[in-house]
Amino acid sequence: MEPIIRTENLSIQFGGHRAVDGVNFQMQAKHFKSIIGPNGAGKTTFFNLLSGELKPTEGEIFLKGESLADDSSIERTRKGLGRSFQITNVFPNLTVLENVRLAVQSREKVRFNFYKHYLQYKSITNEAVEILGQVLLDNKVNAVASQLSHGEKRKLEIAMLLALNTEILLLDEPTAGMSLEEVPAILEVIRSIKEQGDKTILLIEHKMDMILDLSDSIMVLFNGKLLADGTPSEIMDNETVQNAYLGGLYDEQLIKP
């Protein structure tokens, strides 16, 4: 089967440093893959290359067999590749509902007929409310986004990503900066998206228990190189991976629950 997304020798060089170095990866549709690796391994850079924030020095990305080399990040979103950011990114003075509405309506072209589309306005609102239910924010619909807790903002951000309705979701550390009490809820949200079964999800995380719980497969990045890619049990038993982490480059966040 044609992978939904794959990369060929994907590399980027910043000065003398190859942050991502010849990565060949591929993913089937509706698969859940996590990316692990110590800090500075190139995980977020890899995401930035996929989403189009950065241009590769070498190599190419293919979405359903089609090269994305000439597509901006906006065009990639339109083609089905949506990403979340490591830092929360919501409109602070809009309400939760308005934030999601904006993402829902961004799927269509900007048109200037304000008066006619009252019914459509309603259907957009309904869709936004439904998505907010899915991320467990339905009790905060009319709250102003700046009043939310950090964890709620991350949920809102995921809701906006869902509202873009892309086939592939790139989730960059959804639990970053969260308090321990907030983590289970976000885990629930991601699990429910996975169980809905229509999304291909690529997740960067440090919380190993969460990764083992959710992932169909795990890929390991190390110094920008793809070190291993396999099922969770394969990765846990992989000697290269163990050596990479235990050989002085051990990252305590990786194994801490």
Partner 1 sequence: MDLFISLFINGLATGMLIFLLAAGLTLIFGLMDVLNFAHGGLFVWGAYSGIFVYTWSGSFIVGILGAIVTGFVLGWITEKLIITPVYGNHVQQILITLGFMLVLSECIKVVFGPNSIPVDVPSYLAGSWEIGEVIVIKYRIFIIVIGLVIFGIFQYVLKKTKIGLIVRAGVMDKEMVQVLGINIKRVFLFVFMTGSAMAAFGGMLMAPYSGVIYAEMGMEYAILGFIVVVIGGMGSFSGSLMAAILVGLAGSFMAYYVPYLSLAVNMILMAIVLIFRPQGLFTNAKEG
Strand partners, 10: 23
> Which member of 77, 88, 200, 215 binds partner 1 (CB under 8 A)?
77
Taking CB under 8 A as the binding criterion, the range among 1-9, 22-30, 117-125, 214-222 that sits at the site for partner 1 is 117-125
105 makes contact with partner 1 (CB under 8 A): yes
Distance CA 82, CA 252 (A): 30
The footprint of partner 1 on this chain (CB under 8 A) covers a number of residues equal to 26
When binding is defined by CB under 8 A, the residue of 1, 110, 180, 246 that contacts partner 1 is 110
Closer residue to partner 1 (CB): 98 or 167: 98
Answer yes or no whether residue 92 interacts with partner 1 by CB under 8 A: yes
Smaller CB separation from partner 1, 28 or 105: 105
CA distances from 209 to 26, 141, 184, 230, 255 (A): 24, 31, 11, 17, 8
* Binders in 135-164 for partner 1, by CB under 8 A: 160, 164
Q: 3-state SS string over the chain?
A: CCCCEEEEEEEEEECCEEEEEEECCEECCCCEEEEECCCCCCHHHHHHHHHCCCCCCEEEEEECCEECCCCCHHHHHHHCEEECCCCCCCCCCCEHHHHHHHHHHCCCCCCCCCCCCHHHHHHHHHHHHHHHHHCCCHHHCCCEHHHCCHHHHHHHHHHHHHHCCCCEEEEECCCCCCCHHHHHHHHHHHHHHHHHCCCEEEEECCCHHHHHHHCCEEEEEECCEEEEEECHHHHHHCHHHHHHHHCCCCCHHHHCC
Considering only residues 159 to 198 of the shown chain, the ones binding partner 1 according to CB under 8 A are 160, 164
Q: Using the rule CB under 8 A, is 114 a contact of partner 1?
A: yes
Interface stretch with partner 1, choices 7-15, 112-120, 170-178, 206-214 (CB under 8 A): 112-120
Out of 8, 58, 71, 98, name the contact with partner 1 by CB under 8 A.
Answer: 98
| 215 Cβ contact partners less than 8 Å away, ≥ 6 residues apart | 32, 33, 34, 203, 232
| Residue number, 5 or 103, with CB nearest to partner 1 | 103
Contact 51, 170 (CB under 8 A): yes
| One of 26, 57, 91, 130 touching partner 1 (CB under 8 A) | 91
Our CB check for partner 1 shows the closer of 145 and 219 to be 145
- Minimum CB distance to partner 1, residue 115 (Å): 8
Contact status: 107 vs partner 1 (CB under 8 A)? yes
Asked if 87 is part of the footprint of partner 1 (rule: CB under 8 A), the reply reads no
For partner 1, which stretch binds (CB under 8 A), given 34-42, 95-103, 129-137, 232-240? 95-103
| Chain contacts with partner 1 (rule: CB under 8 A) | 73-74, 77-78, 89, 91-94, 98, 101-103, 105-107, 109-112, 114, 117, 121, 124, 160, 164
